[in-house]
Structure 1
């Protein structure tokens, strides 16, 4: 393959944990993959190895979260509990019967997400072949914006949630479709302003991190999944590392560690929807 300057990439990433964007970072996100090996030796060859076997591989991601919100604290701190009188709004988009066609559009809080045969805009998506693919594409676009809302997809249903608690999250989701029955939407409702909140943190003894592990996605800003670094099962023990100083930001130091799936898969790089 010929060399190309387009393969040289810079830039920061958005961090999604269980489909939720954790917001701004400070200092850069770093990933480390380590592989341990065992050299095979025999007496007759002295210390010269005659072979080598991989014994294991680990993956970790250091994510310094600059948005030190109570929600982020709960996300990265096992043994924590958020207590609040506020609530986040949520709504849905459901793709049914048939996949969207060129020009079909979802509008969330005034922002259009449009399916196009030849997508060019930041919020345009390629016309999908299935309703599940449509849900996945919309979810990725909403999460890529990463401002006020997050989305998650289960089959053809996309659940949209406000990032923050409050009535400001109670917004409309509408559709413009060639065949209206193929897409149904429900407005975001249930948002309640919080007047007080706290996070209670236990000592965490005997908490099984594997049972709390979720998908961690590092998505370079301005991309739509083609360059994702995905740790399929990740969790962190929780850490706080900040000083109350006028010239330093407070940061939640989220040191995520990956755990292998039952089939041995540890992480993926690229579009996880790609198939052979």
Structure 2
């Protein structure tokens, strides 16, 4: 057993490339960032074997990353609420609001960006990174305003394949 391969700890989430002026770094989470990768498949059967499959074919792959983000920040909300807009007061630039319009039909792929999960535990390297090549945010706001609760913005990023068909990678970028 190699105990060096047993990993624990939180991560930060980078949504966007380094050169993207709208890049978002989500570093404060509560409850853990959850990466889910799943495969769908179809069992192949023949009359001669009845309902016993003779083989199985992978028909699809999906990945999602659930990020319970703990900082209330309008600039970040603007990036993770597709189709939202920010309005800033003409007389006081500190007064601003994010407006979400319910009449827009949104194509999420237009909001998709590269997303990287970077573990924060001591001793982790780029080989521990996870990259979603094209991720789009879906956000659920469920704020409880009380003494016992933080305002947590639950955002789930759904993976879509890039132009090469790549969905997700594990480890250091070697390209």
Q: What is the TM-score when the length of structure 2 is the normalising length?
A: 0.88
Alignment gaps of 5+ in structure 1: 87-192
Instruction: Determine the structure 1 residue equivalent to 2:10.
Output: 12
CA drift at 1:212: 1.1
Distance 1:247 1:202, change over 3 A: same
CA drift at 1:70: 0.4
Q: After superposition, where does 1:186-265 map in structure 2 within 5 Å?
A: 194-203=93-102, 205-221=104-120, 222=122, 223=124, 225-265=126-166
SS of 1:237 mapped into structure 2? strand
Q: After superposition, where does 1:1-276 map in structure 2 within 5 Å?
A: 3-19=1-17, 20-84=24-88, 194-203=93-102, 205-221=104-120, 222=122, 223=124, 225-272=126-173, 274-275=174-175
CA distance in 2, matches of 1:225, 1:51: 37
Q: Is the 2:11–2:27 contact (alpha carbons within 8 Å) kept by the matching residues of 1? A: no
> Which protein shows a greater Rg?
1
Alignment gaps of 5+ in structure 2: 18-23
CA drift at 1:225: 2.7
CA distance in 1, matches of 2:85, 2:13: 22
SS of 1:78 mapped into structure 2? coil
Q: Is the 1:80–1:201 contact (alpha carbons within 8 Å) kept by the matching residues of 2? A: yes
Q: What is the TM-score when the length of structure 1 is the normalising length?
A: 0.57
